[in-house]
Amino acid sequence: MNKKNVRFVQGNEACALAAMYAGLDFYAGYPITPSTEIAEILAERLPAKGKKFIQMEDEIASMCAIIGASLTGHKVMTATSGPGFSLMQEALGYAIMAEIPCVIVNVQRGGPSTGNPTHVSQGDVNQARWGTHGDHAIVALTASNHQDVFNMTVEAFNIAETYRTPVILLFDEVVGHLREKLVVPEPGELHLVERLHTSKREGVNYHPYLPREDGRLPMSDFGGVHRYNVTGLYHDMWGFPTDKPELVEDLMRHLVRKIDYAATSLTHHKAFFMEDARTVLISYGSSARSALALVERMCLRGQRIGLLELQTIWPFPEQLVRDYTKDAEVIAVVEMNMGQLVQAVRLAVKKPQRVYLINRIDNRLITDKDIRQTLRAIQGKGV
Amino acid sequence: MENTTHQIIFTGSGGQGLITAAIVLGEAAVIHEGLEAVQSQSYGAAARGGATRADVIISKFPIRIPKIIQTGVLICLTQEAYTRFGMLIRPGGLFITDRRFVKSVQKFDAIHIELDLYNKVVEEIGKPVVFNIAILGALLGIYPVVKKESVVKVLECRFPAALQANNLKALELGMEVGNLYQS
């Protein structure tokens, strides 16, 4: 470990540094607490490297700007929080339909509406899944510490490029604002996926939506040597609108399956003390820090409790959760909302009656004591 | 410093530079001493004039929960902060205030050190803006949680050359004063 790579930074800075490591060359955004530092840092550092930073008039424009820039061949990102994320939903659907690689960071704060800008919540979990209309698949990643924020941000760019899809980074205020250690990887240390360009030369027909044999869709920089159409309507392999039933059905299946079939390789998680756990905590983001504090303490006392920290939230890692909880007597989902990911857990496990919610909704970080207290009530040990 | 985890809270008013002091302390621990540290702070209106708070936890081991519920060390630099955050001190903890800003009215179960550092900074350096670094110096004098050289290295990286001399002086001055109280 090189000492010069050790930093003491906020989670937001870890995200910005990771985006640049992954090759971000176009950022458009509208600053909003608690994600502002991402824009602030990139406003300074992207132009210094000859790359683009644009402050847009709002989050709708921000999302549209990164979609356009991505089509022209750039790695793109925007960052926001709840209110801005709501505004982005329509264009997010467009990016899903038109299969445009992009990364959207949502540093969650208290909601709905303007809610509680400077405090923490995990209330956008289901919005990330279903915020935009129509059937679709989505990828959403999260992290509980800065090293993972860095890794997941790089992974978000890799997934976006591999599957031509928007990827949501669902962080929260505690992780975004907290300062802690980050060891910035050396160039080349983390694998980077670059844009897959078409091998079709100028003058040869290029079909933007004709998959290769491996299912991937090579891209041609928009405005470059090939002319093609991009639309939010159902479209054919040329990108032109169609309402032909068989093409509509094929595209729908393609959009959902390209993510669902890859769910296993998209799944990132960490398992702590899970070998013989009878009580399984499932958590993500900053609440997983508190869950881990509790699990570490209880395991020292010989109790059989483990933590499954999910870093991929969507597509929901059903198989993983089912496997890890098959012998569990109590499955408790720790999150800071009224019960969002717990719904997906209940659908995934064999015995949904064993799934409980342990939450905190006053926009303060849930503590190990909060979790312990609810756990005692669940286990019938009193509080 | 045989303890493995140290909890320190800086409280005062927006503009006193307490958040900066907390970040400098965290950076010194993480970058120059190979320790783990987390730093968090109050956001919003409080950080611009009201009562502000910056938490630092330093440990040899990974730190899970970044917020402090009861702290081993509490620094209060306004009367409002003293009233509002005084109860965060752990019984037997180290409670540091400055006479210029805080009149102690309550008896906390803590080792209470009332510094007269602000006036000294004004007299000897003439720039009250470096009071935050003087307070950090005093903290290290009393409670050497990181080495002075580590903080000096951070100050050298963090501040432009023109401001370094006064910040280093403030650190020295704070440490001299703090050393008088070292247990």
pLDDT tens-digit series, residues A191-223 = 999 999 999 999 999 999 999 988 899 999 999
Mean pLDDT of A352-364: 97
Supply the DSSP symbol for A357: E
For the segment A228-234, the average pLDDT, to the nearest whole number, is 98
Residues A306-343: pLDDT tens digits? 999 999 999 999 999 999 999 999 999 999 999 999 99
Helix axes B161-179, B148-158, angle to 10 degrees: 160
* Centroid of chain to Cα A96: 14
Q: Any idea what the CATH number is for the domain that residue B174 is in? A: 3.40.920.10
Alpha-carbon span B96 to B102, nearest angstrom: 10
The domain defined by A3-183 carries CATH number 3.90.420.10:
no
Bridge partners of A7, per DSSP, are A182
At residue A23, the 3 state secondary structure works out as coil
Is residue A296 classed as helix, strand or coil in its secondary structure? helix
Those residues whose C-beta lies under 8 Å from the C-beta of residue B67, and which sit 6 or more positions away, are: A365, A367, B40, B55
Using a CB-CB cut-off of 8 Å, the residues of chain A touching B158 are none
What residues are paired with A169 via a beta bridge? Answer: A105, A141
**In this structure, which amino acid lies at residue A134?**
G
List of chain B residues whose C-beta atoms are within 8 Å of the C-beta of residue A283: none
Instruction: Specify the pLDDT at position A266.
Output: 98
- Ramachandran bin of A302, using left for φ above 0, alpha for ψ from -120 to 50, beta for the remaining angles: left
Residues A57-72 have a mean pLDDT of 98
B39 touches chain A (CB under 8 A): yes
What is the reported pLDDT for B159? 87
pLDDT digit string (tens) for chain B, length 183 residues? 556 899 999 999 988 999 999 999 999 999 999 999 999 998 765 556 678 999 999 999 999 999 999 999 999 999 999 999 999 999 999 999 999 999 988 788 999 999 999 999 999 999 999 999 999 999 999 999 999 999 999 999 988 888 899 999 999 999 999 999 976
Whether residue B173 contacts residue B134, with contact meaning beta carbons closer than 8 Å, is answered with yes
* Distances in whole angstroms, Cα of residue B61 to Cα of each of B27, B38, B65: 16, 11, 12
Cβ pair B38:A296 closer than 8 A? no
Which among B27, B44, B64 has the least Cβ separation from residue A290? B64
Nearest CB to A289: which of B36, B43, B65? B65
Contacts of A7 in chain B (CB under 8 A): 30-31
Rounded to two decimals, the pTM is: 0.96
Number of other CB atoms surrounding residue A128 within 10 Å = 25
Distance (Å, whole) CA A89 – CA A301: 47
Min Cα separation A358/chain B (Å)? 17
> Would you say B54 and B41 are in contact if contact means Cβ atoms under 8 Å apart?
yes
A3-183 and A269-378 share one fold? yes
For residue B105, give how far its alpha carbon lies from the nearest alpha carbon of chain A (Å): 30
Q: What is the pLDDT of residues A129-170, one digit of tens each?
A: 999 999 999 999 999 999 999 999 999 999 999 999 999 999
Please tell me what DSSP assigns to residue B88. G
What secondary structure, in 3-state letters, does B25-77 show?
Answer: HHHHHHHHHCCEEEEEECCHHHHHCCEEEEEEEEECCCCCCCCCCCEEEEEEC
Provide the residue type at A321 as one letter: V
Query: What is the phi/psi pair of residue A267, to 5°?
Result: -80, 125
Determine the pLDDT at residue A67: 98
Domain regions of chain A by residue span: 3-183, 269-378
Residue (of B168, B176, B165, B163) closest to B152 by Cα position: B168
Q: Which of B39, B44, B65 sits opposite A293 (nearest CB)?
A: B65
CA distance B162 to B93: 37
Could you say which of A33, A177, A367 has the minimum Cβ distance to residue B40? A177
**Which DSSP symbol is given to A78?**
E
What are A169-179's pLDDT values in tens digits?
999 999 999 99
Give the separation between CA A75 and CA A94, rounded to whole angstroms: 17
Average pLDDT value for chain A: 97
In the predicted model, is pLDDT for residue A90 greater than 90? Answer: yes
pLDDT digits (tens, 9 = 90+) for A102-128: 999 999 999 999 999 999 999 999 999
Residue B63 near chain A (CB below 8 Å): yes
Residue of A181, A287, A368 for testing the chain B interface, max B β-carbons within 10 Å: A181
Residues on chain A touching B25 (C-beta within 8 angstroms): none
**By CB neighbour count within 10 A (0-12 exposed, 13-18 middle, 19+ buried), where does A18 fall?**
buried
What pLDDT does residue B46 have? 56
CATH entry 3.40.50.11540 includes domain A269-378: no
Question: What distances in angstroms separate CA B69 from CA B85, B120, B153, one per listed residue?
Answer: 11, 32, 31
Name the residue among B30, B31, B67 with its Cβ closest to that of A365.
B67
Mean pLDDT of A51-77: 98
Which residues from chain B sit within 8 angstroms of residue A3, using beta carbons?
Answer: 31
Residue A373 has pLDDT above 70, yes or no: yes
What is the count of structural domains for chain B? 1
pLDDT in the model for residue B14: 85
Rounded (to 5) percent helix, strand, coil in chain B? 45, 25, 30
Which candidate, B21, B12, B75, places its Cα nearest to that of B49? B12
- Residue A293 with chain B: CB contacts under 8 Å: 64-65
* Interface check B61 vs A, CB under 8 A: no
- b/e map A94-109, b = 16+ CB within 10 Å: bbbbbbbbbbbbbbbb
Contact A181, A146 (CB under 8 A): yes
Q: ∠ CA A343-A329-A338 to the nearest 5 degrees?
A: 25
Domain residues for the domain of B132 are 5-179
- Give per-residue pLDDT as tens, A284-312: 999 999 999 999 999 999 999 999 999 99
In eight-state DSSP terms, residue A241 is B
Asked if the Cβ–Cβ distance from A174 to B40 is below 8 Å, we say: yes
Q: Pick the residue from chain B with its C-alpha nearest to A296.
A: B64
Residue to mutate among B64, B68, B150, with most A CBs inside 10 A, is B64
Give B-chain residues touching A6 at CB under 8 angstroms: 30-31
